[in-house]
Structure 1
Amino acid sequence: MNFEQLKPEVTSIITNSDLTIEKRLYNICSLLEAHIDYYNWVGFYFKNGDKNELKLGPYVGEPTDHTIIPFGKGICGQVAVSNENFVVPDVAAQDNYIACSITVKAEIVIPIFVNGENIGQIDIDSNTPDPFTKDDEHFLEFVCSQVATILV
């Protein structure tokens, strides 16, 4: 499936109020990981209450020890501070990268905004070097805007 074909699937998952928010987020992760070859780990991080840290939410992929990430640390922590998309074509070239797995070559993190506030993000790791394009960014911005509708 290409990104345009995945959009209605994302919307269908988001609007399924028979499922908990947590289950819908997990289903989004599963959908993306299953249908985009170079998405090898897909997960959500959310602001942890009033703390300046992110807490791991639903995800699909290898288990991670990084369940709490301080603001400013790693790619996810930097997005929590900058409020901007962060595309990393080569994680080895990043000084402030938190390694989750030796197989990860690239990462993309897109923030989720609710009422103008950055409340979380989608984080995707790829075992393929430099796979992410502007199309990935635009698609994941769509995913995040859909997710925001159930987090208000």
Structure 2
Amino acid sequence: MPFSHLKPKINTILANNHNGSDERLKEVCELLQTSIAHYDWVGFYFANEAEKTLHLKAFAGEPTDHTTIPFGRGICGQVAVSNKNFVVPDVKAQDNYIACSITVKSEIVIPLFKDGKNIGQIDIDSHVEDPFSEEDERFLEWVNEEVAKIL
């Protein structure tokens, strides 16, 4: 899937200084969730280093009970520790997975770095098994680089 058509839209959202960063993050989530067929839930979690927890700041899709995730727990918690992308083609195959919904079949989590430090992540759930490609990874890394500029 070519993501190039979304980049100018994301840049426009992030450049809108009339909205606070939380509102801009929510708009990015909504754009991704409504524009990419296999992105059924999109959210940004941010780290609280002192508590070793992640906190949901903005999302688009079904509401979730998982607004706080301990480091190391689930896919998001593992990325908080590893600082590496985590693509899960089939969530049923993961031992350390936190089920948000029975409809979720796959997940991708990309860490968000600011000044070289992992401060959070973008998390995407899909109702399709194994939909995420290397192109998704590169695009989401770019999204996080752009988001980091407004934080």
| TM tier relative to shorter chain | over 0.9
Instruction: Provide the residue aligned with 1:79 in structure 2.
Output: 79
Instruction: Provide the residue aligned with 2:70 in structure 1.
Output: 70
Instruction: Provide the residue aligned with 1:146 in structure 2.
Output: 146
Q: Does 2:117 align with 1:117?
A: yes
- Structure 1: gaps of 5 or more residues: none
Instruction: Provide the residue aligned with 1:45 in structure 2.
Output: 45
Output the TM-score relative to the length of structure 2. 0.98
User: Structure 1 vs Structure 2: percent identity of aligned residues?
Assistant: 62
User: SS in structure 1 opposite 2:4?
Assistant: helix
Give the residue type in structure 2 aligned to 1:137.
E
Give the residue type in structure 1 aligned to 2:84.
E
Instruction: Provide the residue aligned with 1:23 in structure 2.
Output: 23
Q: 2-side partners of 1:74 and 1:87: how far apart?
A: 12
Give the residue type in structure 1 aligned to 2:57.
G
Give the residue type in structure 1 aligned to 2:16.
N
Task: Encode CA deviations 1:56-97: one digit per residue, 9 max, x unaligned.
Answer: 111011111111100000000000000000000000000000
Q: What is the deviation of 1:149? A: 0.4
Residues matched between the structures, number? 151
Q: What is the deviation of 1:51? A: 1.4
Aligned-pair RMSD on alpha carbons?
Answer: 1.0
Runs of 4+ in 1 over 4 A off after TM superposition: none
Give the residue type in structure 2 aligned to 1:23.
E
Give the residue type in structure 1 aligned to 2:110.
I
Q: 2-side partners of 1:80 and 1:120: how far apart?
A: 7
Q: Does 2:98 align with 1:98?
A: yes
- Structure 2: gaps of 5 or more residues: none
Q: What is the deviation of 1:50? A: 2.0
